[in-house]
Structure 1
Amino acid sequence: MTYQETIGYLYERLPVFQNIGARAFKPGLHTTRELCKSLGDPQDKYPTIHIAGTNGKGSTSHMLAAILQESGYRVGLYTSPHLKDFRERIRVNGTCIPEEFIIKFVDGQKSNIDNLSPSFFEVTVAMAFAYFEKAHVDIAVIEVGMGGRLDSTNIITPELSVITNISFDHMQFLGDTLGKIAGEKAGIIKKGIPVVVSEHQNEEIGDVITAAAEAANAPLTFASDIFDVSFVGSSGGKMLVDVEDKASETIVAKDLASDLTGAYQLKNIIGVWAAKDVLISKGWKISEDSVKRALGSVRSITGLKGRWQQLRQSPDVYCDTAHNTAGLTLTLAQFDAVCKGKKRFVVGFVGDKDISTMLSLFPKDAAYYFCEPSNMRALKAQELQLRASEHGLVGKTFGNVNEALEEAIRESAPSDAIYVGGSTFVVADIESL
């Protein structure tokens, strides 16, 4: 098979969550373990870092991978979903997995696919683990797909576990309280393995994670109890921050530049900073200069896209993959702060999410261009228009995000600003991304 035929086979043969949602959700580790066992358990052949969370786990994964790469290590990076190309999910030192490896891997796994009936995600995880072994990585950064306890990636025993922000998302799978969701995320905590939690959010979440860490005798760090990261300005298209050690009230990093300029990255940087210190304590050679270089160039080092990314100026167009209430609250506040003229929103959602709370976050005095992602789970633009009207949001409908964005740009004055988002899959469809 060719590469395109191979990818087509995976999508057609296996249940894909991003396409069909709940019907593709397959909790449990047995199938992934069996797949990896047949490959010689490649995930045990190199050190790993495991990252879970509701929001921020992708950015955190990319930042840590960039830091390790700039420190001279050969770094594997597994994330999901992809935006443009399946190969984005699996990278070594920022370079996507070769098409040839994917073709050979899938061809060699067809009997396992027939016998084990794995999900798309389970096959992808096994593929990543196998490729990282073949590529002789020094360490691999592994992002959880959903939850943690029953996620396919949770067959690893990492050097370090990281848990980022926890909020309401995927409640039909992870639970209807923050405590239950935190319990699923805390499922990545392993016996004796240090765990860093980016944000000490509240007692409900903190107690659950603390109990899980104590049960596993895992050293626990709440990064936000130790460090504070504050925005101090912008320069050359990058966000400048200070990192303060709370105990000594001293600045440990001044005017640190980040090319990930979303306001929510402040929380992620706190977790990354603490994680970096834990890695150093475990013997990983990470210098101050390598951290500065890495955080200032995450996009170019790892290929990260779609996180508060500016696509053009006059009018300014921003896109972001925020797709739940907590994420949208932060990005919409930042959009409000940067917009000098009329606000315009190009938005779309998937159909199996409760979007009522998210729609209530959007301002009524703005122009709306409702669209739908090119995804089997897409909420139809006309249905979105109807539901948005219940929240006082008025606008036109379009068949796809690019038509909607073109119209928004045509109708904009130079001082206006356009926000594109609502779903990861809407951002993925942007041609200019």
Structure 2
Amino acid sequence: MKITGFDTYKTRFGIESRSVIEPGLERIERVLAALGHPERHDKIIHVAGTNGKGSTIAFLKALCETHNLTYGAFQSPAIVDVHDQIVVNGTPISEHEMNSIVEKVSKVEEAKTLTDFELLTVCAFLFFQQKEVEMWLVETGMGGRFDSTNVVSNSTAVITSLSIDHTNFLGTTLDDIGSHKAGIIKQKANVFVPESIYLAPIEKEVEAKNALLNMIAPLGEEIEIALLGEHQRMNASLAVAAFQSLVDSNPGAIEQALKTAYIPFRMEKIAENVYLDGAHNLESAVKLAETIKKSFKGQSIHLIMGILADKEYKEVLKALEEVADKITFVEFSHERALDANRLVELCRIENYDLKKVEDIVINLTNDGKTSTFLTGSLYFLTEWRFKNSQ
């Protein structure tokens, strides 16, 4: 399996963008203007939120497919490599196509002032414009207001959830974080949020932008959806509501989309009783624990966990210990990976061990009494999947 990182293209075309997080839109707006404003499109669904963004976009992709609507999706982080962050109609951008796009961007002198994510955002929007796709599905990288994706215009906003995350950049309260997420709301545009979300910062932005706030209830239990977990009924409902605000929908096509939506690393079943789920913060860990309690009663639960040091790892571990009969803590290579020995120190259950990511081999011969969940950081899951594809 060949992995081509974004640095390969930067080196090839002499771009020296920076692998840092620098919120702000001035740099990317100048580059997009020089390229003729490829970010301007009439059907864009912009998705922000602490959790649920990827799942909501998965339902939106399926809705586009069942309604024969062409789409481009820009998401992060990468699952395998940079190409799967820019997808048109289910197919990641090819190396040949990325070469062509990066070469065009490299001719804009100010592209050298961009961060890596800003540069990738420019490439995605330029690619979608060239492909003339009908619907753009855009996921914020972090926050919203100052995220590089927020250069899009005329977009319909979806805010999936609010909880504490990325406190170094977004603040330490729900009002701070909500203000960042609500920053994607555009003038007089539709905004879709769960009926249970913390509303104060969203309502403030809605009033300032004269936008239309839509409070959405989760789908009923009788409706079949592909993704496990009660929270997915909320994500599915948000996707349907946002989609229907832009497209004449068909009930049969909606039903089919809900049954076929797929997202890597979100309760992704890779074998009988073996799942990948990127529960990387407290909210997603609690939801994973709730799903296990409801859908895996009577099973012995083995969690295989690797997480980043800048996440709420103590709280995540505490939430997952409640449903675990055994935990394997994993050392993986990401620069922000938490030393797995720290999790060993904190672990309160007796049945645990510690392994390197390359030593994690899943026994696919299952007795039907044990369910295994690889969880924590998406970077851990990505690294494990790549090493197990060799």
TM-score relative to the length of structure 1: 0.81
Match of 2:277 among 301, 320, 325: 320
Pairs within 5 Å for 1:151-166: 151-166=147-162
Q: Once the 2 structures are TM-superposed, how far is the Cα of residue 183 of structure 1 from its aligned partner?
A: 0.8
Q: Which residue of 2 aligns with 1:361?
A: 319
Match of 2:374 among 395, 409, 420: 420
| CA drift at 1:420 | 0.8
> Which of 335, 344, 350 matches 1:385?
344
For the 8 Å contact 1:369–1:404, the answer to whether it is kept is no
Shift of 1:31: 1.5
State the alpha-carbon separation in 2 of the partners of residues 90 and 270 from structure 1.
24
2:257 corresponds to 1:294: yes
- Residue of structure 2 in register with 1:266 after alignment: 233
2:31·2:111 contact (CA, 8 Å) conserved in 1? no
1:110 paired with 2:106, answer yes
Q: The residue matched to 1:173 in structure 2 has which SS? A: helix
Shift of residue 142 of structure 1?
Answer: 0.8
Report the Cα distance in structure 2 between the residues aligned to 1:111 and 1:206, rounded to whole angstroms: 44
Q: Is the 8 A contact 2:43 2:134 kept in 1?
A: yes
Residue-by-residue CA offset, 1:261-285 (whole Å, 9 max, x unaligned)? 2332011122123223322xxxx22
1:231 aligns with 2:221: yes
CA 1:14–1:393 in 2, change beyond 3 Å: closer, same or farther? Answer: farther
3-state DSSP of counterpart to 1:182: helix
Match of 1:237 in 2: none
| 1:74 alignment partner in structure 2 | 70
Structure 2 distance, partners of 1:5, 1:121, is: 13
The partner residue of 2:267 within 308, 323, 327 is: 308
**Displacement, 1:10?**
4.0
Q: What's the secondary structure of 2:321's corresponding residue?
A: coil
Identify unmatched segments of 5+ residues in structure 2: none
Q: Which residue of structure 2 lines up, in the alignment, with residue 206 of structure 1?
A: 199
Aligned to 1:277: 244
What is the RMSD computed on CA atoms of the aligned residues?
2.5
Deviation at 1:179, TM superposition (A): 1.4
**Structure 2 CA distance for aligned equivalents of residues 102 and 334 of structure 1:** 39
8 A contact 1:320–1:420 mirrored in 2 = yes
- Structure 1: which 5+ runs fail to align? 17-23, 233-240, 242-256
User: CA, structure 1 residues 199+145, in 2 after alignment: closer, same or farther (shift >3 Å)?
Assistant: farther
Please state how far the C-alpha of 1:372 moved relative to its aligned partner. 2.7
- Say whether 1:150 aligns with 2:146: yes
Residue 25 of structure 1 and its aligned partner are, at CA, apart by 1.2
Q: Distance in 2 between matches of 1:351 and 1:285?
A: 45
Give the stretch that moved more between structures: 261-270 or 4-13: 4-13
Q: Aligned pair in 2 of structure 1 residues 26, 113: CA closer, same or farther (>3 Å)?
A: farther
> Cα offset for 1:125?
0.5
What does residue 298 of structure 2 align with?
A: 340
2:176 & 2:5 partners in 1: Cα distance? 41
Hey, what's the Cα distance between the residues in 1 that align with 2:219 and 2:234? 7
State the Cα deviation string for residues 71-112 of structure 1 (Å, max 9, x = none): 122111111112113211111111111211211222333354
User: What code does the residue aligned with 2:384 have?
Assistant: I
What residue identity is the alignment partner of 1:418?
T
- The 1:98–1:404 alpha-carbon spacing in structure 2 relative to 1, beyond 3 Å, is closer
Q: Percent identity?
A: 28
Count of aligned pairs between the two proteins: 381
Secondary structure in 1 matching 2:181 = helix
Deviation at 1:6, TM superposition (A): 5.9
SS at match of 1:362: helix
- 1:397 maps to what in 2? 354
* CA distance in structure 1 between the partners assigned to 2:204 and 2:159 by the alignment: 14
User: How far apart, CA to CA, are the structure 2 residues paired with 1:309 and 1:58?
Assistant: 13
Q: Is residue 352 from structure 1 mapped to residue 310 from structure 2 by the alignment?
A: yes
Deviation at 1:333, TM superposition (A): 1.9
Aligned to 1:238: none
Residues 92 and 7 of structure 1, relative CA distance in 2, 3 Å threshold: same
CA spacing shift, 1:383–1:13, aligned 2, 3 Å = farther
Tell me which amino acid in the other structure corresponds to 1:128: A
